[in-house]
């Protein structure tokens, strides 16, 4: 890892930052928390929240700290590291390597209100990536990678339940899959597969209030803790032969 006859001071110094892509589901669409930059470079543009890593903390701890500073949320274990970015010149001021984390939250709306509302906003990811909203640095690429990662993790992990509250209905959980993947899933089949998977969700026995449009009240579930190695829901296109392209 280190060549012989080495002298630490001879090697280039980098700043290391941790950026946290905070995703949430709102209105059936995937949203990302972005902050507006107040200083040059890229002043006035939207950016992914982040900050410098301290030598005394791990990368994961730095991500957790940044998440807490930004949203007040102090939830461990929903942070997923998904990439490191170090292209020369990605920050015009200095050599910066950033390690990017993905955080999935439920309803950050009220959290946002607590911070400086002008400087932070929840923006639909398709709008943020539309090219019209210019993102600072290489943050468009980072956001794209984050979305790709959450799409994959939805199929392989229990990350879906992080989008919803401590108790949730099948419709709410299904809306997560539909929103992230941009597909429509049959409610009956979805329900069957989720409850069939052992330890995935736990019925609470209670029922949710129906919305103002009526309808049968839905059962409320809690998330089980069988969260590793493959959930019950498969992406429809990814099992199709050939044709399918997700983007």
Note the residues at the interface with DNA (CB under 7 A). 169-171, 186-189, 191-193, 195, 207, 210-219, 232, 234, 236, 239, 241
Q: What is the dihedral of CA 77, 179, 150, 196, to 10 degrees?
A: 70
For residue 53, state whether it binds a copy of itself (rule: CB under 8 A): yes
Whether residue 112 contacts residue 22, with contact meaning beta carbons closer than 8 Å, is answered with: no
Q: Tell me which residues in 190-219 interact with a copy of itself (CB under 8 A).
A: 196-198
CB of 54 to DNA, least distance (A): 44
CA distances (Å), origin 137, targets 88, 121, 140, 143: 11, 18, 8, 11
Measured distance CA(146)–CA(16) in Å, rounded: 19
Q: Which of 107, 135, 110, 109 is nearest to 49 (CA)?
A: 135
**Cis peptide upstream of residue 119 (ω within 30 degrees of 0):** no
Q: How many residues bind a copy of itself (CB under 8 A)?
A: 60
Q: Tell me which residues in 218-247 interact with a copy of itself (CB under 8 A).
A: 229-230, 238, 241-242, 244-246
- DSSP for 28-45, written as a single string: TEEEEEEEE--SSSSTTS
For residue 58, state whether it binds a copy of itself (rule: CB under 8 A): yes
Nearest residue (CB) to a copy of itself, 59 versus 171: 59
For residue 113, state whether it binds a copy of itself (rule: CB under 8 A): no
Which partner, a copy of itself, DNA, none, binds residue 95 by CB below 5 to 8 Å per kind? a copy of itself
Query: Which residues of the chain form contacts with a copy of itself (CB under 8 A)?
Result: 1-6, 8, 11-17, 19, 37-39, 47-59, 81, 83-88, 93-95, 97-99, 136-137, 139, 152, 156, 196-198, 229-230, 238, 241-242, 244-246
């Amino acid at each position: 890892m280190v060549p012989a006859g080495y002298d630490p001071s001879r090697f280039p110094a980098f700043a290391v930052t941790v950026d946290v892509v905070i995703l949430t589901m709102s209105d059936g669409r995937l949203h990302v928390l972005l902050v507006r930059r107040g200083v040059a470079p890229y002043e006035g543009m939207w950016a992914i929240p982040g900050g410098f890593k301290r030598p005394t903390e791990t990368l994961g701890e730095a991500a957790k700290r940044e998440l807490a500073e930004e949203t007040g949320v102090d939830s461990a274990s929903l942070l997923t590291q998904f990439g490191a970015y170090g292209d020369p010149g990605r920050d015009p001021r200095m050599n910066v390597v950033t390690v990017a984390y993905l955080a999935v939250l439920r309803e950050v709306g009220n959290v946002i209100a607590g911070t400086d509302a002008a400087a932070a906003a929840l923006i639909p990811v398709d709008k943020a990536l539309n090219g019209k909203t210019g993102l600072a640095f290489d943050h468009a690429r980072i956001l794209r990678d984050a979305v790709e990662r959450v799409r994959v993790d939805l199929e392989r992990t229990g990350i879906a339940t992080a989008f919803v509250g401590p108790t949730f209905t099948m419709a709410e959980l299904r809306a997560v899959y539909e929103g992230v993947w941009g597909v429509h899933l049959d409610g009956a089949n979805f329900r069957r597969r989720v409850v069939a998977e052992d330890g995935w969700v736990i019925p609470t026995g209670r029922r949710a209030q129906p919305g103002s449009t009526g309808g049968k009240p839905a059962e409320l579930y809690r998330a089980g803790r069988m969260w590793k190695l493959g959930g019950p829901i498969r992406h429809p296109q990814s099992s199709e032969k050939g044709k399918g392209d997700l983007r």
